[in-house]
Amino acid sequence: MNPTEPSNDPSAAARQHARSRIHKLARDARLAVGIQLVVAVIAVLATVFFGWRIREATEQLSVVEKDLATKTQALKSTSQRVAVADDATRAVLAAAAAAATREPDRYTAAIASLETVKKSLADASAEFEEQSARASIQPLRDVRMAVNGALARVLFGRPDRKAEDIDRAIALADENLREPGIDAKQRYENTVALASFQCERGDRDAVRALLDERFVAANPQVGANGVLPEACRAMAALAAPVVPAFDATRADPAYRLRSVYLHIAAESDRLWAASLAQSVCDAGYDVPGIQRVEASKFAENGQVVYYYDAQAAEAASLAARVGSPWKRAPAIRRLTGFANLDKHTVELWLPALERNAPPPPSADALRRFKSCLSTARNPRAVDALVAQLISDSRQDRVGAGQSLAIQIRGANDGEAISALLSQLEGQALDRLSATGRLNVLYMLNLEPSWSDRPEKDRLVAALAAIRTRSQARGIAIGSQTEDCLNKLAAKIAKQSAADRCGGL
Classify domain 76-235 by CATH number: 1.25.40
Q: Check residue 136 and give its pLDDT.
A: 47
Long-range contacts of 276-285 (CB under 8 A, 24+ apart): 276/321, 276/322, 276/350, 277/369, 277/372, 278/365, 278/368, 278/369, 278/372, 279/321, 280/318, 280/321, 280/348, 281/369, 281/372, 281/375, 283/321, 285/257, 285/258, 285/259, 285/260, 285/318
Which distant-in-sequence residues (6+ apart) come within 8 Å of 79 by Cβ? none
Q: How far apart are CA 388 and CA 341, in angstroms?
A: 10
Distance CA 400, CA 379 (A): 15
Task: Provide the pLDDT for residue 21.
Answer: 74
Output DSSP code: residue 129.
H
Residue spans of the chain under pLDDT 70:
1-10, 43-44, 46, 48-102, 110, 114, 117, 121-140, 221, 223-226, 230-231, 233-244, 294-301, 327-328, 355-357, 359-381, 395, 406, 409-412, 499, 502-504
> Is 85 in a helix, a strand, or coil?
helix
Give the pLDDT confidence score for residue 337 in this predicted structure: 73
C-alpha closest to that of 177 among 186, 169, 185: 186
CA distance 64 to 70: 10
Q: Return the CA Rg of the chain.
A: 46
What's the one-letter identity of residue 73? Q
pTM exceeds 0.75 = no
The Cα–Cα gap between 308 and 336 comes to: 9
Residue 348: which of 297, 418, 385 has the closest Cα? Answer: 297
Going from the C-alpha of 459 to that of each of 223, 447, 455, the distances in angstroms are 48, 12, 6
Answer yes or no: are the C-beta atoms of 366 and 276 closer than 8 Å.
no
Burial-class residue 380 by CB neighbours within 10 Å (0-12, 13-18, 19+).
Answer: exposed
E strands within 256-365?
259-264, 290-292, 303-306, 331-334, 345-349
State the pLDDT at residue 377: 45
Contact 237, 206 (CB under 8 A): no
Query: Does the domain made of 241-376 have the CATH classification 3.90.1150.10?
Result: no
Distance CA 21, CA 14 (A): 11
Burial class of residue 251, CB neighbours in 10 A (0-12, 13-18, 19+): middle
Q: Report d(CA 360, CA 351) in Å as an integer.
A: 15
Where do the domains of the chain lie?
76-235, 241-376, 377-504
Q: Is the dihedral of CA 393, 394, 398, 404 positive or negative?
A: positive
151, 118 contact by CB (below 8 A): yes
pLDDT at residue 96, rounded to an integer = 59
